[in-house]
Amino acid sequence: MKHVIGLGFATAFAATMVFAEPVDPTAVVYEDGAVAVSLSGQAGDPDNGAILMNKGSGNCIACHSVEALSHLPFHGEVGPPLDGVADRWSEAELRGIVANAKVMFDGTMMPAFYKTEGFTRLGDAYTGKAHADGSVQPLLTAQDIEDVVSFLVTLKEE
Ligand code: HEC
């Protein structure tokens, strides 16, 4: 009996591992700019998403103001304020915008955060980080994107 339980547990664990495999940046499916499925295969953490909005490669508030983050200084005005953004866009649309805003907004200056090819200047700190082996890492990981999106869906005003 003990043996059977052990095997069942191992199978469930293996299934979780497969499910949690991140979608490669080159394999993301955009439908009208929206991405339906979690890029990491996991739910996002809105608290970490709020941190990424102001940190490192994310730094969204350099271009966007967010009332919910008003304790942080220097909100930019390059992009629209993100207050109530979840009333305007679905979760799938928000995921698509954060992963690669250029699909939704042709020619936008918002960086593509989950993209590793098609850059004109590889290695530029803001368009993609080239590694020693020449591979390019996206600005945010799949889980970072999910965390940011899970924060954005909390931004409702209605
Ligand atoms: C370099 C400036 C810049 C940065 C950095 C930036 N954005 Fe944007 N973003 C824009 C601009 C500009 C738009 C408007 C789209 C367009 O060009 O028409 C936009 C649009 C959006 C929209 C749609 C807003 C709406 O109300 O329609 C969302 C959501 C968004 N950005 C989220 C983010 C998040 C999340 C980050 C950080 C991970 C981020 N942006 C980083 C410039 C930026």
Cα 20 to Cα 144: distance, rounded to the nearest angstrom: 14
pLDDT digits (tens, 9 = 90+) for 16-28: 545 578 999 999 9
* In a domain? residue 89: yes
Indicate which residue's Cα is closest to atom 37 of ligand 1.
60
- Burial class (CB within 10 angstroms; exposed 0-12, middle 13-18, buried 19+) of 92: middle
Cα 88 to Cα 69: distance, rounded to the nearest angstrom: 19
The set of protein residues with a Cβ atom below 6 angstroms from ligand 1 is 58-60, 62-64, 78-80, 82, 85, 88, 94, 97-98, 101, 105, 108-111, 113, 148, 152
Q: How many domains does the chain have?
A: 1
pLDDT digits (tens, 9 = 90+) for 95-142: 999 999 999 999 999 999 999 987 654 454 455 555 556 678 899 999
Please state the pTM of the whole predicted model. 0.85
- Which domain CATH number covers 18? 1.10.760.10
SS3 62: helix
* In a domain? residue 136: yes
